[in-house]
């Protein structure tokens, strides 16, 4: 059984609201049972005292069950059986009848303050459930009619007018306040449940909107190109059947369109699948803050230590971990830290009040497994699991690239100090030019017909040079 701290916000509000209603019910039952066995009744009318204890006890448990069904029905989670409703009403009538008998026969002093509970307390277990099943106007009318009938019977018994007025007003206030408390508690719980459902719907709509956007982008990219490919292919077929040389030109055009389409699709998918680490960190702070979670982000500058694939993988870790924080448990605080430890970039996402069973690595979800695959592709690893204090921690590690030695000066420039011996592409000592292992420097002549990917040309900080090269499109 979960403790209080291990429950979500909605579960806590549900327990508090229902507990308030049950508290009102059982307190009323206790007062009625205590009053029905006071000295005057027990001495002058022992049969009424015994009957009151029996019917009051049975009414307490039947009323509690009826109240639970009524609360479920109010929240749209079930319905009340007619037999249970009739039984609750009949027991309430018997209890109220016993109280009226005591008051009308003069067993107790007509000025006794407990007279109100004797004549109206027996009805409360039924009225608490009844007010949840009917509109407010109906509740007012039913309670008004019952109190008016009780007051009329007491008037026939000869009670003075001041006592009648006091009984009527006190009973009206008591039953009205209890009905208001019950309805207000259940209304608040219902509103919170609707807000949770609205948040879930909003999340599903966001996912659906993103899918539509992705589908629309693919349609825009491929729709026209595929239509052109179909037309040119058909034209090439007709020309080939006639032995025309133009058929080759048409197929070359088809080939070029197909290559362009492939490149455009890759750009669309890249924009959909890549995650920017800095953007995800700020997004996590904003989203968690909007959800009422105190989010602290402590991030060092590690962009120069990580290649783009590793930064994207860590960005996905932040995104998935933020989603888990929102979906599982009842977090109040979340800490996201990013730094370098012993040559390794470490990302830690930790939150309190975690729903540990739903976040276990073996719980059947695919989010953590997907993150492990992404990190493994860049040489990293992922650890996730509950820690002490009801917290959940996600730790991602990616090896950092060691910064290279300072770049040697270009020919003709002055050096401010000794320059480390550079390396050439083949691993031999060079002539003083800092040349990366992967290829020539930017600006060097390229032989005719050679295609250069400028991702392979690095400067002294081990960063890719050139926008075109970053996309694999650089052509000498």
How far, in Å, are 23, 100, 105 from residue 172 at the CA level?
Answer: 20, 16, 23
Three-state SS for 344? strand
Q: Assess whether pLDDT exceeds 80 at residue 48.
A: yes
- In this structure, what are the phi and psi dihedrals at residue 395, rounded to the nearest 5 degrees? -125, 120
The Cα diameter of the chain in Å comes to: 123
Element (H, E) at 294: strand 294-299
* 70-109 pLDDT tens trace: 999 998 888 899 999 999 999 988 988 888 888 777 777 6
Which pLDDT belongs to residue 52?
Answer: 86
Q: Assess whether pLDDT exceeds 80 at residue 146.
A: yes
pLDDT band, residue 423 (cuts 50/70/90): very low
Mean pLDDT on 180-188: 90
Taking residue 365's Cβ as centre, other Cβ atoms within 10 Å add up to 15
Taking residue 23's Cβ as centre, other Cβ atoms within 10 Å add up to 11
Q: Go through 46-80 and write b for each residue having 16 or more CB atoms within 10 A of its CB, e for each that does not.
A: eebbebbeebbeebbebbbebbbbbbebbbeeeeb
- Domains of the chain, first to last: 9-199 (no CATH), 210-273 (1.20.5), 277-399 (3.30.565.10), 420-476 (no CATH)
Comparison of pLDDT for 434 and 24, the residue scoring more: 24
Which range among 131-145, 300-314, 373-387, 427-441 shows the weakest confidence by mean pLDDT? 427-441
Give dist(CA 162, CA 149) in Å, integer.
Answer: 17
Tokens of 52: 């009151």
Cα 443 from chain centroid (whole Å) = 53
Q: Assess whether pLDDT exceeds 90 at residue 421.
A: no
Give dist(CA 340, CA 11) in Å, integer.
Answer: 39
Which pLDDT belongs to residue 111?
Answer: 58
Which pLDDT belongs to residue 427?
Answer: 39
Confirm if 109 and 118 have CB atoms less than 8 A apart: no
Give dist(CA 72, CA 83) in Å, integer.
Answer: 17
Please enumerate in sequence order all residues whose Cβ is within 8 A of that of 414, keeping only pairs 6 or more positions apart, or say none: none
Mean pLDDT on 192-218: 80
Give dist(CA 302, CA 141) in Å, integer.
Answer: 70
Three-state SS for 110? coil
| Average predicted confidence (pLDDT) for the chain | 76
pLDDT band, residue 445 (cuts 50/70/90): very low
pLDDT band, residue 319 (cuts 50/70/90): confident
Q: Assess whether pLDDT exceeds 90 at residue 395.
A: yes
Task: Tell if the pTM clears 0.85, that is, is over it.
Answer: no
The candidate with the shortest Cα–Cα distance to 345, out of 372, 382, 319, 386, is 382
- Give me the percent of the chain exceeding a pLDDT of 90: 16
Q: Assess whether pLDDT exceeds 90 at residue 347.
A: yes
Highest mean pLDDT among 300-314, 357-371, 394-408: 300-314
Which pLDDT belongs to residue 109?
Answer: 66
Crossing angle between the packed helical segments 124-133 and 136-156, to the nearest 10 degrees? 150
Element (H, E) at 174: helix 161-241
* 256-308 pLDDT tens trace: 888 888 888 877 776 665 667 888 888 888 888 877 788 999 988 887 788 88
């Amino acid at each position: 059984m979960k403790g209080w701290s291990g429950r979500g916000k909605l579960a806590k509000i549900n327990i508090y609201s229902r507990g308030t209603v049950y508290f009102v019910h059982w307190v009323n039952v206790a007062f009625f049972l205590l009053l029905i066995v006071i000295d005057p009744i027990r001495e002058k009318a022992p049969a009424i005292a015994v009957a009151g204890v029996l019917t009051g006890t049975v009414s307490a448990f039947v009323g509690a069950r009826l109240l639970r069904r009524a609360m479920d029905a109010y929240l749209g989670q079930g319905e009340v059986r007619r037999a249970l409703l009739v039984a609750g009403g009949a027991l309430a009538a018997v209890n109220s009848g016993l109280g009226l008998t005591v008051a009308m026969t003069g067993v107790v002093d007509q000025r006794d303050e407990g007279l109100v509970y004797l004549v109206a307390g027996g009805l409360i277990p039924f009225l608490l459930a009844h007010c949840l099943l009917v509109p407010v106007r109906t509740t007012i009318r039913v309670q008004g009619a019952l109190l008016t009938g009780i007051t009329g019977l007491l008037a026939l018994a000869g009670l003075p007018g001041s006592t009648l007025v006091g009984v009527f007003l006190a009973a009206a206030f008591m039953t009205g306040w209890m009905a208001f408390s019950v309805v207000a508690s259940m209304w608040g719980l219902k509103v919170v449940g609707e807000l949770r459902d609205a948040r879930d719907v909003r999340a599903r709509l966001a996912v659906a909107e993103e899918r539509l956007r992705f589908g629309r982008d693919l349609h825009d990219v491929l729709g026209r190109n595929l239509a052109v490919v179909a037309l040119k292919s058909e034209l090439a077929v007709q020309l080939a059947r006639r032995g025309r040389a133009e058929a080759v030109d048409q197929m070359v055009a088809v080939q070029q369109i197909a290559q362009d389409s492939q490149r455009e699709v890759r750009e669309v998918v890249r924009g959909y699948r890549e995650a920017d680490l800095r953007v995800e960190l700020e997004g996590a702070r904003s989203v968690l803050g909007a959800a009422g979670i105190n989010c602290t982000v402590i991030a060092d500058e590690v962009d120069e230590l990580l290649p783009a694939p590793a930064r994207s993988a860590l960005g996905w870790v932040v995104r998935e971990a933020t989603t888990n924080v929102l979906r599982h448990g009842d977090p109040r605080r979340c800490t996201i830290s990013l730094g370098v430890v012993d040559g390794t970039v470490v990302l830690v996402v930790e939150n309190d009040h975690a729903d540990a069973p739903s976040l276990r690595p073996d719980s059947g979800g695919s989010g953590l497994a997907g993150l492990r695959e992404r990190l493994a592709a860049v040489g990293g690893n992922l650890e996730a699991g509950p820690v002490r204090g009801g917290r959940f921690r996600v730790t991602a590690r990616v090896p950092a690239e060691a910064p290279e030695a300072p770049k040697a000066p270009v020919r003709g420039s002055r050096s401010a100090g000794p320059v480390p011996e550079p390396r050439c592409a083949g691993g031999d000592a060079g002539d003083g030019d800092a040349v990366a292992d992967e290829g020539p420097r930017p600006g060097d002549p390229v032989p005719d017909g050679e295609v250069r990917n400028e991702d392979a040309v690095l400067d002294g900080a081990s960063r890719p040079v050139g926008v075109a090269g970053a996309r694999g499109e650089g052509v000498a």
